[in-house]
Structure 1
Amino acid sequence: MKKIHYTDSYLLAPYHPVSIFVIGAGGTGSQVVTNLARMDAALRALGHPGLYVTVFDPDTVSEANIGRQLFSESEIGLNKADTLVSRINRFFGNSWMSESRRYPILTTGDSENKRLANIIITCTDNVRSRLDLWRFLKKHRDTRNDDEKTPIYWMDFGNTQFTGQVLIGTIRNKIRQPASKEYLAIPSMNTVTEEVSYSMLRDTDSGPSCSLAAALKKQDLFINSMLAQAGCEILWKMIREGCTPYRGVYLNMETLRLTPIPV
């Protein structure tokens, strides 16, 4: 039988827009957030409450970002999250939020630590941020609430110069699955930190570039937008159709090949 994962039923007909945190508004993040704005408009046209997105990024726009990321010269020096969300809110008439800082906010006794969303999307370029996030999220694996602060899925984007991957996993231990005679329903999917032994890896070559030419030596021009389209297509199908046979994709820009990762 073919394996499939049925989307958590709460996200299909919630009482509010599905809450999403996007961590990182750079090469991939700026593309993902723009795709989410299009998805929100499409979902609302179909009678769904849509999406409510908050973007986190402490970084500012630099000259090296122009061309590879969705920023212009007039935005140099401005915070990436604030700039991107302000532009989308003006264009689509949304009221999405931006935070010019990292997530999670790792301070003891701070109520900010309780800030959560239904879907967490990471578009960062370092290992430690993923490990820190997972240590924070796995404390909420047993939650049984159904509201805008209930973390359900974590989607992660990552890439090198010519290859990349996107993977969505379940934060909840198990997602209730309907009975099916046609498919083998899978209640949980590994997060990226469960799939990859990040503790054995080191961050390399993740610092800022001084120019667009230098940045292109680290990442191909269209790898971020290709990954963003593939990942958002999976998310779109999960919310629109209520299920997915795939939990991610591998991308190779040198062979122009997308390889799906089955659930």
Structure 2
Amino acid sequence: MHLTPAHFLDRRVDVVLVGCGGNGSQMLTGLARLNHALTELGHPGLRVTAFDGDTVSEANIGRQMFSPADVGQFKSVVLVHRLNAFFGLDWIARPIPAGASELVNVGGGITIMCVDSAKARAKLAPIVQRTTAYVMDLGNRASDGQVVFGTASNHAGCGAKLRWPYDVLPELVDEWAPEDNTPSCGLAEALERQELFINQAIVTPALGILWEFFRHGRLTWCGAFVNLKTGHVRPLPVEATERNQ
């Protein structure tokens, strides 16, 4: 079991979200709901800074959390402004790619990586390892994917230590792995590459982990593998990461 550090439970926590696309748009919306629930329970809440330099395209509508009126606008700005207005938040949108100087200046107790390529992860991973305590990585293919939550510090938390996500799954930062990042011209073409609800399926266990982390102050599982074709969801137990050290 991994125990949540006390300062994550008694003060406002800075969260950096990198990427506001398929997984990121769903994740940001879920973080707002999580924040509302936590504050209602007496927690000081979350302060989220969302990075994404991409703009909304017609192909994003339906699969990501955008409407036709959002086309052409920055994804991070659309989502953060909408959630700030809806929940009365003061979260920050950064309509630029996350880089070294940006992440160092923002810092963060938790960094959530919702990028769509191993190359982007490989570039950001060393920076994030220096600037944050915990890292959560979400990734998916056409109909399956995973979430892994781990520590960037040997001193984060008590009890069983969570492993660095990119030690658990080194292929996530394998820049030589084949990838298809060509843009889609419409939703129909996008759905030929990814199932409609794969992002939602990945984000749900990710939010479940954060709920356990904040609400109950401990984790017995720190990741999950999801396959929509077979219907399987396999958790990654904390004990398994401890044994593999």
TM norm structure 1: 0.86
Give the corresponding residue for 2:227: 252
The answer to whether the Cα contact below 8 Å between 2:103 and 2:127 also exists between their aligned partners in 1 is no
Among 122, 127, 143, the alignment partner of 1:136 is 127
Displacement of 1:138 after TM fit? 2.9
Q: How many angstroms apart in 1 are the aligned matches of 2:126 and 2:161? A: 21
1:232 deviates by 0.6
**Count of paired positions:** 237
1:170 equivalent to 2:157? Answer no
Between the aligned partners of 1:199 and 1:47, the Cα distance in structure 2 is: 41
1:120-151 Cα distance to aligned partner (Å, 9 max, x none): 001111011111111213335xxxxxxxxxx2
Distance 1:257 1:91, change over 3 A: same
Contact in 2 for aligned 1:131/1:193 (Cα 8 Å): no
Residue 53 in 1 paired to residue 41 in 2?
no
Question: Could you tell me which amino acid in structure 2 is paired with residue 175 of structure 1?
Answer: A
Structure 2 residue matching 1:224: 3-state secondary structure = helix
For 1:165-244, list aligned pairs within 5 A. 165-177=146-158, 185-197=159-171, 198-199=173-174, 201-244=176-219
Q: For the structure 1 residues 91 and 200, does the alpha-carbon distance in structure 2 shift closer, same or farther, using more than 3 Å as the test?
A: closer
C-alpha separation in 2, matches of 1:84 and 1:206: 22
Q: Distance in 2 between matches of 1:29 and 1:38?
A: 14
Counterparts of 1:61 and 1:203, CA distance in 2: 25
**C-alpha RMSD of the superposition:** 1.6
- Cα offset, 1:59, TM superposition: 0.3
Shift in Å, 1:256: 1.2
| Whole-angstrom distance in 2 between the partners of 1:73 and 1:31 | 17
User: Please, which of 77, 89, 98 is the counterpart of residue 94 of structure 1?
Assistant: 89
CA contact (8 A) 1:65 1:212 kept: yes
1 or 2, which has the higher helix percentage?
2
Give the structure with higher Rg (CA). Answer: 1
The 5 A counterparts of 1:146-165 are 151-165=132-146
Higher mean alpha-carbon deviation, 51-60 vs 188-197, is at 188-197
Corresponding residue of 2:36: 41
197-206 vs 39-48, greater mean Cα deviation: 197-206
How far has the Cα of 1:218 moved from its partner?
1.4
Contact 2:149–2:162 (Cα < 8 Å) also in 1: no
**Correspondences of 1:67-78 after superposition (within 5 Å):** 67-78=62-73
Provide Cα deviations, 1:93-112, integer angstroms capped at 9, x if missing partner.
11110001111x24xxx586
Percent of aligned pairs sharing the same letter: 38
* SS of corresponding position for 2:174: helix
Per-residue CA shift, 1:188-215, capped at 9, x if unaligned? 3232355324336435112211110111
Task: Using structure 2 for the length normalisation, give the TM-score.
Answer: 0.92
8 Å contact kept, 1:174–1:188: no
Question: 1:24-66, CA deviations, whole angstroms, 9 ceiling, x for partnerless residues?
Answer: 1111111100000001110000000011111100000000001
In structure 1, how many angstroms separate the alpha carbons of the residues matched to 2:14 and 2:103? 16
Instruction: Name stretches of at least 5 consecutive residues in structure 1 with no aligned partner.
Output: 141-150, 178-184
TM-aligned CA distance change 1:136 to 1:76, over 3 Å: same
**Contact in 2 for aligned 1:54/1:99 (Cα 8 Å):** yes
